[in-house]
Amino acid sequence: MARGLRLVFATSLLLMLLGFCRGSTIGVCYGRNADDIPTPDKVAQLVQLHNIKYLRIYDSNIQVLKAFANTGVELMVGIPNSDLSAFSQFQSNVDTWLKNNILPYYPATKVTYITVGAELTEAPSNVSASVVPAMQNVFTALRKAGLHRKIKVSSTHSLGVLSRSFPPSAGAFNSSHAFFLKPMLEFLAENKSPFMVDIYPYYAYRDSANKVSLDYALFESTSEVIDPNTGLLYTNMFDAQIDALYFALLALNFRTIKIMVTETGWPSKGSAKETVATPDNAQTYNQNLIRHVIDNTGTPAKPGEELDVYIFSLFNENRKPGLESERNWGLFYPDQTSIYNLDFTGRSTVDSTKANVTRSNGTWCIASSTASDVELKNGLNWACGAGNVDCSAIQPSQPCFEPDNLVSHASYAFNSYYQQNGATDVACRFGGAGVRTNKNPSYDKCLYITAGSNKTAANNATSAPSTSSSVQIGFPLWISSCLLLAFLPFS
């Protein structure tokens, strides 16, 4: 009997620990300040194809919420600053919003966070004063619906919330924001919600290039910056900015609030004066960021601390005002092709000029025997749609229609995309559903094209979908620790 109870306890503890030990995650922001981006249903297909599991949106657009139903993608939904006054004054306004905009689509659409307002330190003080009452009303509405433990409430900030960020140990919040910040931090601590911040080393470098090295901003530095107060060593600006926030929280005795990065990234294009806004630098920053996050190394002040990060942004947004860089933070063009290659597994460095260039040389790309039907269908739909592949050969009565099955049709489409995009390793990924082969898969009158053959589809030099954009830390680094803890002998 005692042994059985110990087993039940150990199993329960394991499940609990797995919840806590899920590892750091990478998400993507889905901004829509553009007039040329795909419709939400097509975006949902693109997101699934790339295995992006976490997405931030900036409002509660019904078409977006509908599009992501039953996709498994977890959404962070935003309440804009313009709604804070109404949401702070009357609970009924929030109850109605939740009833009309969230509850009809939940839980099919997995809403896990609601952000109330954004970067309030840049907003007028009357807006800032409304944020905490609005957050409390949103929490109350969620509690009435029984969702206050499933959907967390917070608000996002720029790094302008700090009055000092260097050295990190001297990090301090700007006292002029205390009127709304102190009650907000008390709310976050009480409800176990994260402190959300948008962090951009790009701006810090652009505005202080004589004080900050580009390598330090891009995670490429081979030297270290020493915090004279703690002796902690920093090799990148991202960690230093995160730790400045940790120390600012610590100075106010908020020790349990976790930090979540709700925006970070690097623009791929800028004005004449924005010389570091290039595809190479954007790729370098985001690639190194992904690796840094999913390695779960934490920061010098918080080693091993989980940190969830959202990359800004899914698309370039052509209607954003300001300098040229403001319209060029995207990972994808409006036609859903990649602006530059990223390895979302974080296992390798990708050179934008030589990215995985392994030419065909007698290789083909076919559907993996281990891929699920859903993965194959998503890849097939993408290749024949946004991928610009000519899929007429797999239509009824055409040479490659038979055998009429998903594996055969996906293989033809995958190979066509692979060949017309340079026959690179990355062009055969399809979220892990594609695999390269040296054996020509052609049969009967169904001919699989090769790179350089006369039969090509629309010219498209961008990369194919890469693997998971929501990769969590690998099994050996964290689950093993949880398993060890869960199955320690109990006396």
How would you write 47-111 as a 3-class SS string?
Answer: HHHCCCCEEECCCCCHHHHHHCCCCCCEEEEEECHHHHHHHHHCHHHHHHHHHHHCCCCCCCCEE
- The residue ranking higher by pLDDT, 66 or 354, is 66
Compute the distance between CA of residue 222 and CA of residue 153 in angstroms, rounded to an integer: 39
Q: Report the percent of the chain where pLDDT is more than 90.
A: 64
CB atoms within 10 A of CB 17: 18
| pLDDT for the residue 21 | 54
pLDDT at 343 over 60: yes
State yes or no: is 305 an active-site residue.
no
Q: Is 280 helix (H, G, I), strand (E, B) or coil?
A: helix
Of 186, 220, 224, 263, which residue is the catalytic one? 263
Q: b/e string for 101-123 if b means 16 or more Cβ within 10 A?
A: bbeebbeebbbebbbbbbbbbee
| pLDDT for the residue 461 | 28
| 387-417 confidence digits (pLDDT tens) | 788 999 999 999 999 999 999 999 999 999 8
pLDDT at 100 over 80: yes
Q: Please, is 59 exposed, middle or buried when counting C-beta atoms within 10 Å of its C-beta (0-12, 13-18, 19+)?
A: middle
pLDDT at 426 over 80: no
Q: Please, is 478 exposed, middle or buried when counting C-beta atoms within 10 Å of its C-beta (0-12, 13-18, 19+)?
A: buried
At residue 413, φ and ψ (nearest 5 deg) are -65, -40
Of 74, 119, 306, 317, which residue is the catalytic one? 119
Q: What is the DSSP letter of 474?
A: P
State yes or no: is 317 an active-site residue.
no
CB 336 within 8 A of CB 38: yes
Domains delineated in the chain: 22-332 (3.20.20.80), 364-437 (no CATH)
| pLDDT for the residue 422 | 75
- Helical (H) or strand (E) element with 379: helix 373-384
| pLDDT for the residue 352 | 39
* Torsion sign (Cα): 194, 195, 196, 197: negative
Q: What are the angstrom distances between the C-alpha of 255 and each of 170, 208, 242?
A: 16, 31, 14
